[in-house]
Amino acid sequence: MIDLIKKKIHYISTVYARAYSLLAGSPPKLFPWHYQWHATRELDRDLSSILSEMEGAVLDFGCGQQPYRSFFKANISYTGADIVASSDEIVSIAPDAPLPFSDESFDAIVCTQVLEHVAAPETRIAELSRVLKPGGVMCLSVPFIFHVHGKPHDYRRLSEYGARELVKGFNVEKVYRQGGVGSSLAVLSLGWIDHQAEMHAVTYLLKILLTPLWIPFCFIINCMGMLFDYMDTTEAFYSNVLMVVRKK
């Protein structure tokens, strides 16, 4: 009986996730009424510009489901790598092992929202530097204000200064402090409601039933977040750091 209930809940969850994606979008294209819209809005905007300029052999490190592949030019040589290979074209890598690539194999590297899940980020950055050609570009991003995710492998949050320290062997060309107090509060508050609702089967089913109210509520909160971001001139409450660095 319990197994049957679990199967039904899993089925409902799968159907709801697909329906929500149709209504509110999925990475890298979320609509303003998605509860995580502010978590990806500026990152996707800036990445689309940066990645479209990359040339040659590109490594997408920690590529996941490859949400940013469409941002690259069609003529690049693309290599995706992750600890979980979601398709045959993605190279499987071990968390703490050396990368299975030769020295100076790539002209550019992308590493987005990955280093918070790496136990020894300095070692991983050194490996990425090893496989990057001299003068090659690396684009990396890390969260600064965000909830726990991917547990238990969620080890850190980094400010701009912490991110700079990680890549002190590179020349820093551009730093993007993404978001402000409004978007940070929107992501945290809406994320908390969503996570809290999924703690129990009853509240999860209630969340599904209240979707017609949840979507406009998220839209209102996200709009308010944008307003407060425009008012925020502190440069101290950003949610994410995106950097473009070049190997010396």
Interaxial angle between packed helices 181-197 and 211-231, expressed in degrees from 0 to 180 and rounded to the nearest 10: 160
> What CA–CA distance (Å, rounded) separates 158 from 42?
17
Interaxial angle between packed helices 211-231 and 37-51, expressed in degrees from 0 to 180 and rounded to the nearest 10: 60
Q: What is the mean pLDDT of residues 215-226?
A: 98
> What CA–CA distance (Å, rounded) separates 145 from 239?
4
Q: Is the peptide bond before 152 cis (omega within 30 degrees of 0)?
A: yes
Q: Residue 140's beta-bridge partner residues?
A: 111, 243
Amino acid code (one letter) for 112: T
Q: What are phi and psi of 182, to 5 degrees?
A: -65, -50
Which two tokens mark 195?
Answer: 């996570």
> What CA–CA distance (Å, rounded) separates 49 from 71?
8
Q: What are phi and psi of 111, to 5 degrees?
A: -140, 90
pLDDT digits (tens, 9 = 90+) for 37-52: 999 999 999 999 999 9
| Residue 76 pLDDT > 80 | yes
Contact between residue 184 and residue 232 where contact means Cβ atoms under 8 Å apart: no
Q: Give the Å distances, CA to CA, from 77 to 54, 55, 56, 72, 187.
A: 10, 8, 6, 10, 35
Contact between residue 110 and residue 51 where contact means Cβ atoms under 8 Å apart: yes
For the chain, what is the mean pLDDT? 93
Confidence at residue 95, expressed as pLDDT on a 0 to 100 scale: 85
Q: Which is more confidently placed, 1 or 25?
A: 25
> What CA–CA distance (Å, rounded) separates 128 from 108?
10
Confidence at residue 5, expressed as pLDDT on a 0 to 100 scale: 60
Confidence at residue 179, expressed as pLDDT on a 0 to 100 scale: 97
| Residue 1 pLDDT > 70 | no
Contact between residue 41 and residue 30 where contact means Cβ atoms under 8 Å apart: yes
Other CB atoms within a 10 A radius of the CB of residue 167 amount to: 19
List the one residue out of 98, 95, 66 whose CA is nearest residue 79: 66
Q: What is the mean pLDDT of residues 155-160?
A: 97
Q: What domains does the chain contain, in order, with CATH numbers?
A: 2-247 (3.40.50.150)
Confidence at residue 87, expressed as pLDDT on a 0 to 100 scale: 73
Other CB atoms within a 10 A radius of the CB of residue 31 amount to: 14
User: Would the pTM of this model clear 0.85, i.e. be above it?
Assistant: yes
Using CA of residue 26, residue 33, residue 141, residue 185, what is the dihedral sign?
Answer: negative
pLDDT digits (tens, 9 = 90+) for 99-132: 999 999 999 999 999 999 999 999 999 999 999 9
pLDDT digits (tens, 9 = 90+) for 161-197: 999 999 999 999 999 999 999 999 999 999 999 999 9
Other CB atoms within a 10 A radius of the CB of residue 217 amount to: 15
Confidence at residue 11, expressed as pLDDT on a 0 to 100 scale: 74
Contacts 24+ apart (CB under 8 A), 194-198: 194/35, 195/147
Confidence at residue 27, expressed as pLDDT on a 0 to 100 scale: 86
Which two tokens mark 6?
Answer: 């679990």
